[in-house]
Every structure is written in C-alpha cells, then in structure tokens.
Structure 1
Amino acid sequence: MVRHMFSNLLLLWSLSHDLYITGLTYNAPQEQSWNNQNLSSVPLDLDVRLRRLDLSNNLIRQLHTLALPYLEQLDLSSNQLDFISDGAFENLARLEQLNLSRNGLNNNLGSNSKALQSLSGLKTLDISMNGLSDDAVELYLRNKSSLDQLQMTGNALKRLSHSLFKESKGLRTITIDDNLISEIEQGTFEPLIHLETLNLAKNNLAHICDFKLHQIKYLNLSRNSVEFFVTRQDDQLYRLEVLDLSYNKLLYFPIVPKMNCLRYLYLQNNMIGTLNSEATMVSETNSLYNEITRKKIVSKNNLHSNWRPMPLIYIDLSYNHFRSFPLETLSLLSSLETLNFSYNCLQNIFWDIRNYSESGHVRQLFFPSLKHLDLQSNGLLYMSPLFLNSLTQIETLNLEDNSVQPCASTDHLRSSQSTQQINVSTSCVALGQLRTLKHLNLKENNIKILEPHTFQRTSLVSLNLAKNVHMVIHEGALEGAQTSLQSLIISEINMSSSHLSLPCLPALTQLNLSNNHLDVIPSSLICSPLREVDIRNNVLMTLNHSLIQALSTHLTIMYISGNRFNCCDSKWLKILNETKIKLPDIGEAECFTRVRKFVMMEYLKNHVLNCLFHTQPQEVHPGQIIIIILFVGVILAVLIVFSRKLCCTQRSFVV
C-alpha cells in the first residue's frame, strides 16, 4: 500500500512538473517583446517558457544558441543580422513562425543556411529584403517540408528554377514580389499541389505563354511588363478566383482557362484598346493564341469561347486606351456586377456590333447582372439608347468628368436604327431609360440645362450635379425622382437663390449646396427629413429660423463656414445649439457687423453687448432704438442729479 501511495505521489509530482515546464501554469509568460530597444545581442535572461518572442527593430548582428524549447514564434526582423551560428535554432523544436526580414542574410550563406535547416517543423518563413540571390534562397529552403507560407519580398531573384521548391511541396502561399524575376522554369510551381496564393508583382515578367497552374486561387502579376496572358484550352478545372494583371503592357484581353472559377479580374493601367475597334482586337488576340499554341485552325474565336463561361463578377479596365466600348466581349460575362471603365478614351458609345446594319435587324445584347458602371473621365458625349437598354439591372452610374447632356425625357427616343443617325455633337443622353438606376454622378459634365422630367421613371436615391458651372436647373427637373431621392449635391455651380427651385423632397436626408451664390435656403426643404446639410461658401447673411426649427427634428450635422452672417441675427444658431446639432466648422465661421468681422464662436460669448453698439443702423428694430434712447436718458438724468448734489455739498462746506 505504501508502495502504491508512493507511485501515485511520484506521478502527481511528474505531472505538476510538466505543467510548470511547458508554461501551462497561471504565472507562465506567453509572450515577451524587446522591440525597438537598441539591443546589440539577444538578452541572456529570457524565460525558457516563452512561446512568442519579438526582437524586431534592434541592432543584433549575430545570433547564437537560443535555449527556448517551447518557443513557437520568433521575430528578428529589421536588425543587422548577417551571421547565424550552426546550432542557433537546434533547441527550438516547436518553432513554427520565423521572421528574418530586413537583415543581411546574403552574407555567411553556409552557416546561416545550415542553421535554418534544423527548423524542419517551420510553417511560416519571412526572408524578405535580405538581398538574396536565386542560389541563396534555394539554400535557405532546404529541409522545409512543413512550410506553409513563404515571404521573399524585395530580394534579388532573377530566375525561378524547377528545383527551388522541391523540398517545400506543402506551400500554400508564396510571395516573391519586388524582385528581378524575368524567367520561370516549367515545373517550378506545378508540383505544389496545395499552392493557393502566388504573388509575383513588381518583377520583370514579359509573357505568360501557357498558364498551367490549376491549383492556384489568387495570382498577382501586377507591375511587371506582361504583354499577353494565354492559357491553352483543355478540359481541366482551374481554381483561379482572382487574377491581377494591372500595371502591365497588355495589348489584348487575357485568354483565361476555359473551365475556371474566376470572379475578380484586374486589368487597369495597361494598353488594351490601342488597336481601335473591338473586332480588330478580338482577331489579333485569336491570331496570337493560334501562334503560341501552334494551331492551324484559325476560324474559332478562342477569346470569346473562353470568356463566355467565366463567372466573373468584377472587372477593372480603367486607365487603358479604349476608343470604343467592347460591347460583345463584355456582354459575354453574364455574371458581371461591377465594371470600372474610367479614364479611357471613349467619346461615344455606339451600338457597333456584328450583324448590325442601318437597314437590317437590330441585334440586342444585354448586361443582365451589371449593377455598377464607372465611366468617369472619358470625354463622353453620346451613349446609344440601345446601350442604355442593355443595362437592365444598373444601380450605380458614374459619369463624372465627361460631356454628357441629359435629355428631357425618353419618349421621343426610340431604340431603333434611326438613333445611330443622331448628330452626336448636339445629342443628349436619355438617362430616363435606366429604370433601376439609384445612384447617378453627373459631376463636372458642363451641363447647360436640366430639362423637366430629366429623371422621369428612374429610382434615384443619390444625385451629384456638382461643378456644372452655370447649369440651369429647370423647375420640374427632379420630377419623377423626388419621392426616392435621399442625397442631392448641387455644389460649385455658381447658382443664385433666384435660379434654384427645389420641389418637396420627402425622402431627402443629405443636401450639399456649398460653393454657390445663395442668399436664401429654399423654403421647400421644410418637408425634407434632412440629416446632413452643407451650405459653406455662399453669401448667406442669416437663416430662416422657422425652417431651421423644422429641420432640427432630424438634422444631426451642418456645415456653415464661408458665409457673411449678420452677428446680431443669430436666432437660427441658438436653435442649432439648443438641439445639439454638430457644427464641425463653427471655429472657421465668421459673422459681421457694420464695424468689423468676428469669429462667430468668440462673438457669441458677448453677443448682447456687441450687438448693442455694433449693429448696423438699417437692421436695428424701432423698439431697440426706443430702449437705447431711454437707457441713455436715464444715465444722463442720474448724472445731472448726482452733479447737483455734489455741488450743493461743496457749498455747505464753504459756508
């Protein structure tokens, strides 16, 4: 029995000892940071129970043996580390994450690489910005079968060989951006069957001749010199979901895998569209494909056959060289929801498609899922009604910085062949055709006039009309949209109050009237549940306090600076203060009297006294004049009585 009790005690002691050693006791430290301490070496008194250790941003140059058997994460980034002794990591059996970025690991490769070979259980390794060459990286990646994530940003790699990752076939994420890579050997990434994310941005890659990475979900090739991207047709499924080819030298649309999962395609800042017409571009792309794949049959449209089944929901084509809108190619994308076509060279969007003629049958295409279209900064004058008809689900349309003149209504514009014969230099755009439109940006289009019923039949929620200098808004221009409109921007159009007529807008919550010449706020706003109002930089001297009182029910924020408010007519301001409505620019707001101007906040502290002496004569109420006369009379009477008493007192002393 004694022996049995002794064995139980021994077991209990052993368990408690293990708990203490492994750091599971309540007092055991989990993490320690020596970040940015100007250390030249690793501290000697580190707790052996540590699991996470941060030594980043120091001056450590050499690393010797670390006796931290339970350490899981080690950060040595941004030091001056150029020497790691052979056995430095031998006692780090549990280390999974190691950050060695921003050091000098291009030196002492033999010792340094041998030290890293002992970390066979490493899952995450960052060796970015160490000036590493191709051969150096291959040495550092030896014996890394458990590696899951690898970061090699900002090194000096020029060529990726098929042997580079032969001992790291479990990799899921590889980042090799900002290097000098111009060549990738076949077989470099193909064996990495678990690879999902590959970032090769900011390199010197010129061509992707035959993309074969079936396993990758995210591929970043931005900021290279890629001229074309071609995939040979096969029946294998590609898992690619995001492809970033932005900031390259593409002349053509990429030929993506036929069976793919692509949802996001980034093609901004390229040279697509330089070949003028869509037909020419498609023909050239197919010829290139046949040349690369050495196919003799040239009749098949490989570009369109590969794009048709693509489940793309987002494509960015901004900052390219399109002179015409690629209607047929983009209409193949039946799942497309967002299209960014800003900063191109469009002037007109004609219905210029195959099998269309002036006298023949009109072939109508559709963008059945497109909700958000950005056409900013194209110089657009004209958009075909047939094109507008194709936008059956459009909700957001950005036409900022173009030359679009909205039509009065769409009744006289028919989607027929005759619409192609309109003189585009004087034609307008029938925005009323867009029944599902909710958000419209017409900022800076040099619009001359908004005719009545311009937005009839739309479902507008927000409308931006800013920077259309000298635009005339016809009474009734907002009819048809007034019940749904929630946000309205009419800033920077040089408009005076006499030319601004707004209907009752029962849904309006945000209004921007800044940078105009308004001296009165439209009284029709009394029926709007406004939450935010911007009236900065107008010529307002006061605000209708009855209107402000009505608006204060919903109003939460108001911008008022840059006006010429009358200091002594501030009843409206008291209402805003009492209701605790935010005035973010009250510190910049000024008010004026006949004598001088004041910062409104300072003036309000003594507004009664200031108004008494500085109010402009023409603005003084008759009752105020009577009070002032009486006040002065009383003061004079008191002075006379006081002086007589003083005189009498002096005489009595003389006697």
Structure 2
Amino acid sequence: MVRHMFSNLLLLWSLSHDIYITGLTYDDPKEQSWNNQNLDSVPQDLDVRLRKLDLSNNFIRQLHTLVLPGLEQLDLSSNQLDLISEGAFENLARLEELNLSRNALNNNLGSNSKAFQSITRLKSLDISMNGLSDDAAEQYLRNKSSLNQLKMTGNALTRLSHSLFEESKGLRAITIDDNLISVIEQGTFEPLSQLEMLNLAKNNLAHICDFKLHQVKYLNLSRNSMEFFVTHEDDRSYELEILDLSFNKLLYFPIVPKINSLKYLHLQNNMVGALNSEATIVSEANSLYSEIMNEKIVRKNYLHSFWRQMPLIYLDLSYNHFRSFPLETLSLLSSLETLNFSYNCLQNIIWNIRNYSESGNRRQLFFSSLKLLDLQSNGLVHISPLFLSALTQIDTLNLQDNSVQLCALMDYLGSSESTQQINLNTSCVAFEQVGTLKHLNLKENNIQMLHPNTFQGTALVSLNLAKNPHMVMHVSALDDVEKTLRSLVISETNMTSSDLSLPCMPALTQLNISNNYLDVIPSGLRCSPLREMDIRNNRFVSLNYSLIHALSAHLNVVYISGNYFNCCDSKWLKTLNELKINLPDITDTECFSGDSRVKMMDYLKRSSVYCVFPKTQGVHGGQMLIIASFVFVIIMVAIVFTRKLLSTERSFIV
C-alpha cells in the first residue's frame, strides 16, 4: 500500500511540475490577444481560465454569451459592434475593465443597455466614440456603483443632467471630452465625493458660474468657449491642483477658490489682456463677481489678493492679448517658478505700479520664486531695470524674436539721479542686475552690437545669439562669462572669420557657429572641452589639424556638411574618423577634388583614388640644350644693347 501511495504521489508531483513549467496553473493570470485578426465573431472554445482578452481592431458586429468566469479585462475596441445579447456578460462575474470604444453602441440601445445591467463589479468603462446621445449614456451607466473610471470621449452628448451619475457615485476619474456639451445641470458632479479627475475639454461650455467641486484635483476645460470662470470666495478648502482653461475666450483671470492647492494653471490661447490695462481687468472681474454672486466688492483688489496664499508654481499666459505686463497681480504669486508670457503684444515692460502713499515713494515688488520667464515673440524693445532687479531668483530668460538692443556698460555706470533717470528710460536692456541668470536666449532680435563686457554681473551657462544678421561682436563682448559658458550659439549672423573672435572658454562644451561665412575656427577654443560642435554651411576648405587634435580629447559630435572642403587636405577628417567621433551628417557632406565633387564617405573609403599627385617628369638633354641656348642669346642681346646705349650718351656729352 505504501508503494501504491508513493507511486500516486510521484505521479501527482510529475503532473504539477509539467503544469508549472508550461505556465498553465489555475493561479497564474492568463492573457490572449486576437488583436487585428480580421475576425467577424468571437473565437469559439476560449480558455475558461482567461483573465485578459484582447479582441480589438476586428470586424465583430455582435456579442453573444461569453463563458469566462475568471475574465477581468475585456477589450472590444475598434470593431463594428452594435448588438450585445442580454446575457452576454452574465458569466463574467469578475469583469473589472471593459473597453468598447470605437463601435456603434448607439444602435439597439434597449438590448445593449440591458446587457450592461449584469456587470456589477465593473471598475473601468470606456464607451468613447459610439455616437451616444444623452439618454443612451445614462442607460449604459445604470447599476454601476463600483465604477471608478469612465471615458466617453467623442460622443454626441449635449447636456449633463443630475441623474447621469446617480448610480455611479464611486467615480474617481471622468473623461467626457470632444462632445457637444453646452449645459451642466446643478448637482451633476457635486454628489461624486471621490471624484479627483474631470476632463470636459473640447465641448461648447461658455462659462463656469460657481465652481463647487472641492475634492477635484485635476480639471480640464480647455477648447471650449469659456468667457469666465468664477468660484464663490468662501472659506472652504479646495483640492484643485491642475486647472486647464487654455484655448477659450477668457477676458479675465479666473476667480479661483480662496483656499486652494492650485499648482498648475493653463491660460494660453485666450483673450486675457484685451482690456488693455491691469486696473481694467481687475475692476471688470470685480463687477462680474458682484453681478453673479450678488455681493458687493469693497476693496479694489479683493479677489486677487487671495493669490498670495496660492501655491502656484506654473502659469502659462502665452498667446493672449496683453499690451502691458500685469506686474501687481502676478507679483502676488509668491511660489511661482515658471511663467510663459510668450506670443503676446508687449512692446515695453514699464514699472507703472501704484505707490503706497502720495509721497511718491516708489514701491518695490518682487518675483521672489520665479526661475523661468518666457517672453518670446512679443515685440519687446524696452524692459525696465526695476523689473529685472525684481527677478531675484531668475535662472532662464527667453527673449527670442523681439527687438531688444543690448546696452553698453558705460550706459549703466554712475549713481547720480540724472543717470538713474536715464537708466529707467533707456531703450536698451542691461543684464548686470540679474546675477542669478544662467540661460539667456537672444535669438532673432536684430541685435546691432555686442559691447565689451555686455553680460557683466551674470554667470551665464548658455547663450543663444542666433539669427541676428547685422550683429557686430566686440572682441571683449563675452568677458566676465568666458569661464562659466557651457553652450554658445552664434549661427546665422553673417559673420566672417575676421568678425568672430572668441576668448578661451574653459567650460564650453557646446558650440554652434553654423550658417555663417567662416573659414577658420577661432583659435581661442583650443582650451575648451568641446563635446559638440556645429560648423555646417560655412566656407571651410580645411580645418586646423592641431586645433582639431587638441579638441578631439573631449569631442563626441561634429556637424560639418555644407562647406567647401578640399579632399586632399583632410588630415583633420581622418583624425575624427579614426577616433570614432560621431559625424551625423557625413553622408550629406561633400569635398572637392579638382573640378569634381566627392561624397566624404566615398573619399574616406578610397582616398588614394581621389588624391594622386602628378610625379615630376625628367628633362631630356636636348631640351636642356635648347633652354641653355635661349638663355645665352637673351644675355648677349642685353649686353650689346647696354654698350650701344652707353656710347650714345658719351657722344651727346662731347
């Protein structure tokens, strides 16, 4: 009997071992994908142990009863599904995730919605792009108390009613973007106490009159027709961290909750600033709030004064209509680190702020946390020195595509009252007061002159001077930053080698001098640990071998195409090639041998074919005799002519 029991145990171990190594245990999850197989129906005899089934991107039109008691995830997206049998989901007791997007569930609504009633444990549902109406969406959401994620992108919803989520109060994330919603009934979202993420982008919403979703952390209302966003200024705390109101028609800053957790605010592509002055924006916002809430605003800047407590670190105001910089309002944001103010209508940033008293004492404001300021494409000519000095922590300043001219250092020397007044009114910009500045972009400003010590007082790490085609660069322009610069761009400035003189820059690792008229690399770079160099589209015939050899210790990447290289003077190229330095555009690079153009890649493979110098031929004896005779005759003629000339002169004297 013991022997019999032992044999049975051995058999059992063998079977379990086989099951283990083939992965067919009942405890392990099992997945099967029939994605993109041109199926017109669900395959028969599916493994009952399946936990995840992918039938997406097929041509299935009808779904009948599935007997998969262990199935947890089912993907039927991108089919032609328009009919679901009533009992289709009855045997899917563990189903938690269901993706039915990109089908035709607006058809056969009665049968389809009844089938949905049997799914009681569903946590995630995607019914996007099914052409669903308001009524259809409501029917599909019945008996979904366990649901916490819902996606209904790209349907035909026009109105969100208070009954829509009555049986789905556990929802945490809702996405209903790209519909036709213009009305949200009061009480639609308020009962959803666990809701954290709400996406209503790409709809037809015109305004939010009183935002009351205290628990929501992420709210996306971008690409609607929003004219204002108003919250009642009560003492309740809001969890909102990210608010996206981009691509709307806002005329004012949103009136956000008084006590909030807002960190990221997206207001790009609106009409904020179209009311011309900051004072007008504030007063109009006050009037709007008073009208909506039926409350009188006593203090002028009451609504925006709460911004002092707001933990906002990122604000995007690009592509708006600002003609003046809202100094007082934005200076309230004491935690702000990144401000995108690009593509507005600024020409000047003037320090026009209200004084504390009638004494005329100037009030100083500070942007105490601001590290990145983007002012690209505004048409800026003047930036007040007082504004620059208020940027006490600025690290990165983008002034690309403006009309900024740089001051000579002498313009900012002296301390007399008259000099200070000139400083405030001058049309040039000086950076000597911006000691924290590390990254400066001055591309496309039509800069005329880089004066000596232009960037004194800064510790620039990167500097972009590209696309300033008339710029004259003084030999001492980069003094004071030559030891800190790591990246320098001087492309598309029409410079010749005589125009460009660079000092020794012991920290420089990236250099772009492309698209100029250079034929020599500045020798001052010999001491730079360059890792990347771009010399494309210049007039280089060859490169200084000793300089290239010195730089090769650190070089990783060099761009060289678009020059006039001499094939037979390419010792520098062989060095780069032998050291395996990356030449990304080598296949587009040509060199010249005689009258012919040669691809650099071909030359490197067969350099001896293209550069064969003709050998000096021997001179025959007869040729030597002829040459000697010719020289003798010339000498004799010269002697005879000289004697005759001398005899004539003597006769004349007598």
Tell me which amino acid in the other structure corresponds to 1:387. Answer: F
Partner of 2:616: 628
Partner of 2:128: 128
Tell me which amino acid in the other structure corresponds to 1:382. Answer: H
User: In the superposition, relative to structure 1, how do residues 413 and 450 fare at CA in structure 2: closer, same or farther (>3 Å)?
Assistant: farther
Does residue 204 of structure 1 match 2:204? yes
Partner of 2:397: 397
Partner of 2:317: 317
Does residue 103 of structure 1 match 2:103? yes
Deviation at 1:433, TM superposition (A): 1.4
Deviations 1:136-177 (A, max 9, x none): 111000010000100000001111111110100000000000
Alignment of 1:544-563 (within 5 A): 544-563=544-563
Tell me which amino acid in the other structure corresponds to 2:558. Answer: M
Give me the whole-angstrom Cα distance separating, in 2, the residues matched to 1:301 and 1:291: 16
Does residue 146 of structure 1 match 2:134? no
Deviation at 1:408, TM superposition (A): 2.4
Tell me which amino acid in the other structure corresponds to 2:526. Answer: I
Partner of 2:588: 588
Q: Are the aligned partners of 1:177 and 1:199 in contact in 2 as well (CA < 8 Å)?
A: yes
Q: Are the aligned partners of 1:392 and 1:436 in contact in 2 as well (CA < 8 Å)?
A: yes
Partner of 1:334: 334
Give me the whole-angstrom Cα distance separating, in 2, the residues matched to 1:82 and 1:109: 9
Does residue 169 of structure 1 match 2:169? yes
Give me the whole-angstrom Cα distance separating, in 2, the residues matched to 1:568 and 1:201: 62
User: In the superposition, relative to structure 1, how do residues 359 and 528 fare at CA in structure 2: closer, same or farther (>3 Å)?
Assistant: farther
Tell me which amino acid in the other structure corresponds to 1:435. Answer: G
Give me the whole-angstrom Cα distance separating, in 2, the residues matched to 1:416 and 1:48: 88
Q: Are the aligned partners of 1:315 and 1:339 in contact in 2 as well (CA < 8 Å)?
A: yes
Q: Are the aligned partners of 1:287 and 1:298 in contact in 2 as well (CA < 8 Å)?
A: no
Partner of 2:624: none
Alignment of 1:571-610 (within 5 A): 571-610=571-610
Does residue 114 of structure 1 match 2:114? yes
Q: Are the aligned partners of 2:385 and 2:424 in contact in 1 as well (CA < 8 Å)?
A: no
User: In the superposition, relative to structure 1, how do residues 603 and 297 fare at CA in structure 2: closer, same or farther (>3 Å)?
Assistant: closer
Does residue 41 of structure 1 match 2:29? no
Q: Are the aligned partners of 1:101 and 1:127 in contact in 2 as well (CA < 8 Å)?
A: yes
Q: Are the aligned partners of 2:431 and 2:457 in contact in 1 as well (CA < 8 Å)?
A: no
Alignment size in residue pairs: 608
Which secondary structure state, in structure 2, belongs to the residue aligned with residue 629 of structure 1? coil
Deviation at 1:412, TM superposition (A): 2.5
Partner of 1:432: 432
Q: Are the aligned partners of 1:89 and 1:116 in contact in 2 as well (CA < 8 Å)?
A: yes
Give me the whole-angstrom Cα distance separating, in 2, the residues matched to 1:479 and 1:335: 34
Deviation at 1:305, TM superposition (A): 2.2
User: In the superposition, relative to structure 1, how do residues 28 and 283 fare at CA in structure 2: closer, same or farther (>3 Å)?
Assistant: closer
User: In the superposition, relative to structure 1, how do residues 350 and 296 fare at CA in structure 2: closer, same or farther (>3 Å)?
Assistant: same
Deviation at 1:607, TM superposition (A): 2.1
Deviation at 1:27, TM superposition (A): 10
Give me the whole-angstrom Cα distance separating, in 2, the residues matched to 1:569 and 1:354: 68
Cα RMSD between the aligned structures? 2.5
User: In the superposition, relative to structure 1, how do residues 273 and 488 fare at CA in structure 2: closer, same or farther (>3 Å)?
Assistant: same
Give me the whole-angstrom Cα distance separating, in 2, the residues matched to 1:358 and 1:539: 63
User: In the superposition, relative to structure 1, how do residues 27 and 116 fare at CA in structure 2: closer, same or farther (>3 Å)?
Assistant: closer
Deviation at 1:302, TM superposition (A): 3.0
Deviations 1:491-536 (A, max 9, x none): 0000000010100000000000000000111111000000000000
Tell me which amino acid in the other structure corresponds to 1:569. Answer: D
Deviation at 1:598, TM superposition (A): 1.2
Q: Are the aligned partners of 2:412 and 2:423 in contact in 1 as well (CA < 8 Å)?
A: no
Tell me which amino acid in the other structure corresponds to 1:629. Answer: Q
Q: Are the aligned partners of 1:358 and 1:417 in contact in 2 as well (CA < 8 Å)?
A: no
Partner of 1:286: 286
Give me the whole-angstrom Cα distance separating, in 2, the residues matched to 1:413 and 1:372: 30
Give me the whole-angstrom Cα distance separating, in 2, the residues matched to 1:202 and 1:354: 40
Tell me which amino acid in the other structure corresponds to 1:82. Answer: D
Q: Please, what TM-score do these two structures have when normalized by structure 2?
A: 0.89
Give me the whole-angstrom Cα distance separating, in 2, the residues matched to 1:123 and 1:166: 16
Give me the whole-angstrom Cα distance separating, in 1, the residues matched to 2:404 and 2:417: 21
Deviation at 1:29, TM superposition (A): 6.7
Q: Are the aligned partners of 1:216 and 1:240 in contact in 2 as well (CA < 8 Å)?
A: yes
Instruction: Pick which of 183-192 and 353-362 moved more.
Output: 353-362
Instruction: Pick which of 292-301 and 479-488 moved more.
Output: 292-301
Tell me which amino acid in the other structure corresponds to 2:220. Answer: N
Q: Are the aligned partners of 2:372 and 2:397 in contact in 1 as well (CA < 8 Å)?
A: yes
Does residue 69 of structure 1 match 2:69? yes
Partner of 1:636: none
Partner of 1:262: 262
Partner of 1:523: 523
User: In the superposition, relative to structure 1, how do residues 610 and 357 fare at CA in structure 2: closer, same or farther (>3 Å)?
Assistant: farther
Partner of 2:636: none
Deviation at 1:423, TM superposition (A): 8.9
Deviation at 1:330, TM superposition (A): 0.3
Alignment of 1:465-480 (within 5 A): 465-480=465-480
Deviation at 1:297, TM superposition (A): 4.1
Q: Are the aligned partners of 2:282 and 2:300 in contact in 1 as well (CA < 8 Å)?
A: no
Deviation at 1:575, TM superposition (A): 0.8
Tell me which amino acid in the other structure corresponds to 2:253. Answer: F
Give me the whole-angstrom Cα distance separating, in 2, the residues matched to 1:484 and 1:352: 35
Deviations 1:64-107 (A, max 9, x none): 00000000000000111010010000000000000000101001
Partner of 1:412: 413
Give me the whole-angstrom Cα distance separating, in 2, the residues matched to 1:436 and 1:217: 34
Tell me which amino acid in the other structure corresponds to 2:616. Answer: I
User: In the superposition, relative to structure 1, how do residues 75 and 420 fare at CA in structure 2: closer, same or farther (>3 Å)?
Assistant: farther
Give me the whole-angstrom Cα distance separating, in 2, the residues matched to 1:73 and 1:559: 50
Give me the whole-angstrom Cα distance separating, in 1, the residues matched to 2:524 and 2:41: 73
Partner of 2:501: 501
Q: Are the aligned partners of 2:26 and 2:49 in contact in 1 as well (CA < 8 Å)?
A: no
Deviation at 1:417, TM superposition (A): 9.3
Which secondary structure state, in structure 2, belongs to the residue aligned with residue 373 of structure 1? strand
Q: Are the aligned partners of 1:255 and 1:302 in contact in 2 as well (CA < 8 Å)?
A: no
Partner of 1:443: 443
| Contiguous gaps of at least 5 residues in structure 1 | 614-624, 634-655
Give me the whole-angstrom Cα distance separating, in 1, the residues matched to 2:303 and 2:559: 53
Give me the whole-angstrom Cα distance separating, in 2, the residues matched to 1:418 and 1:87: 87
Which secondary structure state, in structure 2, belongs to the residue aligned with residue 497 of structure 1? coil
User: In the superposition, relative to structure 1, how do residues 266 and 29 fare at CA in structure 2: closer, same or farther (>3 Å)?
Assistant: closer
Which secondary structure state, in structure 1, belongs to the residue aligned with residue 304 of structure 2? helix
Partner of 1:232: 232
Give me the whole-angstrom Cα distance separating, in 1, the residues matched to 2:586 and 2:255: 57
Partner of 2:246: 246
